[in-house]
Structure 1
Amino acid sequence: MMVRMARPRNRDYEELRRELVDAGGRLLAAEGPAALSTRRVAGEAGVSTTAVYNLFGDKAGLVREMFLAGFERLAAAFAAVPRTGDPVADLLALGRAYRASALANPHLYELMFGRPVPQFQPDAETGALIRPTFDTLVAAVARCVEEGAFAPAEPHDVAVKINALAHGLCSLELRGALGGTDEARHHWDSAFEIMMRGLAGR
């Protein structure tokens, strides 16, 4: 008979969840989906597989939590961006927060925006949970349009384009294709400066 582990205290639960999510992300990034077993993940975190099953249900549940954790961290980075009187500066700050979150969580980034685990496909409920991060971007663009900083445009369409630019730059930087940190930052600043000028109609 399987002996189930007692549910950890609230703080321990969150710490263990993060450790297992990060362990899974590191294995996935370093060795691919074949390495992503409950046994390997548990071993990386120094716990038994029972902890993985108790917290996530199974491997599929773990992958889903890894996916959601990446977006939770992105949402926290967005939430930390202060609102100022300059809507364009605030939008650019969101871009920098996006980059910082990707650089801090490179082991989760590919799972967030790619399909490194072929069996994982976010369902409608999961999609609804991650939607607020994109909605934050749409709202920031809408403010730029409403305050006249951008030429009249549909905020959602503009947000899609900005998101595509940020994702492309992040993907290249994480693969070392933008050079060192300073060079990569220069490419980011230049690309967004050009895009902002275009959106402003200049």
Structure 2
Amino acid sequence: MTAVESDTAALGREQLRQRIIEAAAGLLAREGRDAVTTRAVAVAAGVQPPAIYRLFGDKDGLLDAVAQYGFARFLETKHTAPDSRHPVEDLRAGWDLAVEFGLANPALYTLMYSEPAKETSAAFKAGVEILMSRIRRLAVGGWLRVDEELAVTLIHATARGAVLTWLTLPDDRRDPALLTTLRESMVAAVTTQEPAVRDSGPAGAARALRAALPEQTTLSSAEQHLLKEWLDRLAADG
């Protein structure tokens, strides 16, 4: 087989794989997880069942691929989400976006987060990187109340909890105030009401830390002196 033929075969295989994944995702959305059988997916995709086993191994392999497809779709919404000039408003908007995706795709969202192993996908990791960049903006601006890693965990946990709780409630108990309250609780836990750093960048952060230095008791006097010298130099650069 020539290189061109090999590339053509690989492209055809990937297109077939994508067609099967989209057929499975459609069944999942319309009829639920139990409807996603290899036979039903094969019929929906217009292929023979052996093709599914050849490409995905078994039903669990297919469901893993559908979950990764879900993370990729969610990643597309993150890339297109507008950024405001205020990092706390960006945090709210990003949380709302995650919850809206979950409520619009309940079966897919439940599959995506049904097992921790699903979160090893490249798309999931890329989404976390986007979230980390927004958390970093909060940290640089002095808005972050907790450690960056903890902030990411809190944001994920509250958004996931909001979606999964909402989906378990009967229609007459689905009060939008639940989502708003959970979001604002997350914002209060993750951010401060006023930025600790007035000026962005290392110089502003250095000045803020230098101002708070006399109040701390963790460092020895020698360590405080050395740190103050470093902070003075950083502050002077601004």
Does TM, normalized by the shorter one, top 0.5?
yes
User: What's 1:166 paired with?
Assistant: 159
User: What's 2:117 paired with?
Assistant: 122
**1:178·1:187 contact (CA, 8 Å) conserved in 2?**
no
Give the Å deviation of 1:170.
0.3
For each residue in 1:77-110, what CA deviation from the matched residue of structure 2 results, as whole angstroms up to 9, or x when unmatched?
A: 2111112211111111111111121122211222
Whole-Å Cα distance in 2 between the matches of residues 148 and 47 of structure 1? 55
Bigger shift: 84-93 or 49-58?
Answer: 49-58
Equivalent residues in 2 for 1:101-120 (5 A)? 101-115=101-115
Q: Residues 132 and 100 (structure 1 numbering): CA distance in 2 closer, same or farther, change over 3 Å?
A: same
SS in 1 for 2:142: coil
Aligned residues: 183
User: What's 2:179 paired with?
Assistant: 188
TM-score, normalised with respect to structure 2: 0.64
Q: Does 1:80 align with 2:80?
A: yes
User: What's 1:175 paired with?
Assistant: 168
**Which has more helix, going by share of residues?**
2
For each residue in 1:159-183, what CA deviation from the matched residue of structure 2 results, as whole angstroms up to 9, or x when unmatched?
A: 10111111111001122358566x2
Equivalent residues in 2 for 1:37-116 (5 A)? 37-45=37-45, 47-53=47-53, 55-115=55-115
Q: Does 1:133 align with 2:127?
A: yes
For each residue in 1:13-35, what CA deviation from the matched residue of structure 2 results, as whole angstroms up to 9, or x when unmatched?
A: 64553123332565553x3xxx5
Whole-Å Cα distance in 2 between the matches of residues 201 and 101 of structure 1? 27
**1:28·1:107 contact (CA, 8 Å) conserved in 2?**
yes
Whole-Å Cα distance in 2 between the matches of residues 55 and 127 of structure 1? 20
Give the Å deviation of 1:143.
1.1
**1:99·1:170 contact (CA, 8 Å) conserved in 2?**
yes
Q: Residues 15 and 38 (structure 1 numbering): CA distance in 2 closer, same or farther, change over 3 Å?
A: closer
TM-score, normalised with respect to structure 1: 0.73
**2:144·2:191 contact (CA, 8 Å) conserved in 1?**
yes
Letter in 1 for 2:90: D
Higher relative contact order, structure no. (Cα contacts within 8 Å, ≥ 6 residues apart): 1
User: What's 2:225 paired with?
Assistant: none
Unaligned runs of 5+ in 1: 1-5, 116-120
Rg: which structure is higher? 2
Q: Residues 192 and 43 (structure 1 numbering): CA distance in 2 closer, same or farther, change over 3 Å?
A: same
SS in 2 for 1:201: coil
User: What's 1:145 paired with?
Assistant: 139
